[in-house]
Amino acid sequence: MDLTTVWFLLIAVLFTGYFILEGFDFGVGALLPVLGRDDRERRVMINTIGPVWDGNEVWLITAGGAMFAAFPEWYATLFSGFYLPLLLILLALIIRGVAFEYRHKRPEPTWKRRWDTAITIGSITPAILWGIAFANILRGVPLDADHEYTGGLLDLLHPYALLGGLTTAALFLTHGALFTALKTTGDIRHRATTLATRLGTAAALLTIPFLTWTLTIRTSPLATALAATATLTLLAALAATHARREGWAFTGTATTIALTVATLFAALFPNVLPSTTDPAGTLTTTNAASTPYTLEIMTWVAAIFTPVVLAYQGWTYWVFRRRIGTHHIPTH
């Protein structure tokens, strides 16, 4: 296997890890006003993701850095063509991070409600826009022979992309509701499990058509097998949610998200950004890649530091593995 293929796979793995981990904290943040009936319940929900949400974003930073170094042409075209959606994602992530830090700085209910709103908007916005962005990467965008994006914002908002945005939002909300059920006790846990059943049904009604549509645009035997398995795991997660088996249900949504992302990358390969207007403009793992020397250096760096990052994140999740409830939250 050549190094360009290795780095295409590594970037796919990094985005998969990002969507699994950040997916549930997007879901928890978006469901904050729905599941949290008062300030103490909302503090419980925030505390479930408090120790891990910023570590989850390391996967996105690493994926972006890997894309920049391994496939600079892909990175440049993507960030210039998707400038506004990616800027909105960045602003949403900044607002959400600031809200986590500032929410508890003052005791006034109005102050907290405003930051709660910021957390909700900062969570649901990237959950939708990431689906729109990846649907466009899979379908392709207008590129000229010099790999320059020639479309506008409206070219990114076609029905397939909008379905992709709704699909990722539904999957992340379901994933977040199940994580809340898995990490809390009392009324929040029961409400989260009940809501996860409804959200899981909506996710199934969106994910199955999205994967089917994906395979009609671009496919491969591997992508078809991954999409079929993703559908089965989502249905299994829904059944586990009905049975109140939160651990199995959460594993099911995590696996579904992983297989859905894998389906997109498998269907895309060996392209990295197809052109819908000029086949000569299509970016592939070959014409978008860095030099072999750069890829070789990157491979050694990844081999040394990836286990360190994985060990640190695993330790963080182990330390903060216990359930929490309102009785853990001070009254003032």
Distance CA 14, CA 6 (A): 12
The predicted structure's pLDDT at residue 332: 61
Contact 176, 27 (CB under 8 A): yes
106 — pLDDT class (breaks 50, 70, 90): confident
Least confident range of 105-119, 144-158, 212-226: 144-158
Least confident range of 7-11, 73-77, 277-281: 277-281
pLDDT tens digits, 142-169: 998 888 888 888 888 999 999 999 999 9
The predicted structure's pLDDT at residue 108: 87
Tell me how far CA of residue 261 lies from CA of 6, 62, 268, 317, in angstroms.
Answer: 17, 17, 11, 23
pLDDT tens digits, 52-65: 888 888 899 999 98
For 28-60, the three-class secondary structure string (H helix, E strand, C coil) is HHHCHHHHCCCHHHHHHHHHHHCCCHHHHHHHH
- Which among 11, 5, 2, 7 has a CA at the least distance from the CA of 262? 11
Q: What is the pTM of this model?
A: 0.94
3-state class of 23 per DSSP? helix
254 — pLDDT class (breaks 50, 70, 90): very high
| Radius of gyration of the chain from its Cα atoms, rounded to whole angstroms | 20
pLDDT at 50 over 70: yes
Q: Point out which residues pair with 298 in neighbouring strands.
A: none
Contact 174, 193 (CB under 8 A): no
Least confident range of 15-24, 205-214, 263-272, 276-285: 276-285
